[in-house]
């Protein structure tokens, strides 16, 4: 589940948090699902357990997960996960068509990323966010 990149310049705990959020947003994780234990994640990634614990605490603080004493970490059942996953499910065909159209124009994956980022910045600057 977790694949942090130490060379990215982004703190590992932050990468872990974003990967959990992404898994929830895409429906890979659903409300009530259990996350891997802190020790297991730390051992698998060869990182300090405190790094994983920090990510889990921050996610709990944000209401994304629940930490249950002696039981582990679970995706919070607050309606957020299901609502976001449903929006993502409905948006996926739109994104797929956009990617296909841009590929047909000859854009590379990196060019598509830059284009989407540029358009998101433009929409945000216009107050469309």
Express each pLDDT in 111-129 by its tens digit: 998 998 898 888 888 875 5
DSSP β-bridge partners for residue 75: 65
Give the model confidence (pLDDT) of 43-78 as tens digits.
999 999 999 999 999 999 988 999 998 899 999 987
Give the model confidence (pLDDT) of 17-26 as tens digits.
999 998 988 8
d(CA 97, CA 129): 22
Say if CB 74 and CB 32 are below 8 A apart. Answer: yes
pTM equals 0.65
What is the helix, strand, coil percentage profile of the chain, to 5? 60, 5, 30
Task: Quote the pLDDT of residue 100.
Answer: 95
d(CA 124, CA 41): 36
Q: Identify the CA nearest to 73 among candidates 61, 83, 85, 82.
A: 61
Instruction: Grade residue 28 by pLDDT with cuts at 50, 70 and 90.
Output: confident
């Amino acid at each position: 589940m977790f694949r942090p990149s130490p060379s990215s310049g982004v703190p590992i705990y932050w990468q872990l948090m974003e990967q959990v959020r992404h898994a929830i947003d895409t429906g890979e994780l659903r409300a009530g699902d259990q996350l891997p234990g802190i020790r297991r994640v730390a051992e698998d990634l060869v990182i300090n357990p405190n790094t994983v614990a920090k990510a889990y605490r921050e996610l709990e603080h944000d209401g994304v997960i629940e930490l249950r004493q002696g039981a582990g970490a679970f995706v919070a059942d607050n309606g957020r996960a299901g609502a976001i996953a449903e929006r993502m499910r409905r948006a996926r065909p739109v994104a797929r068509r956009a990617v296909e159209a841009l590929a047909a124009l000859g854009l590379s994956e990196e060019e598509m990323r830059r284009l989407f980022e540029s358009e998101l910045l433009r929409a945000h600057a216009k107050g469309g966010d």
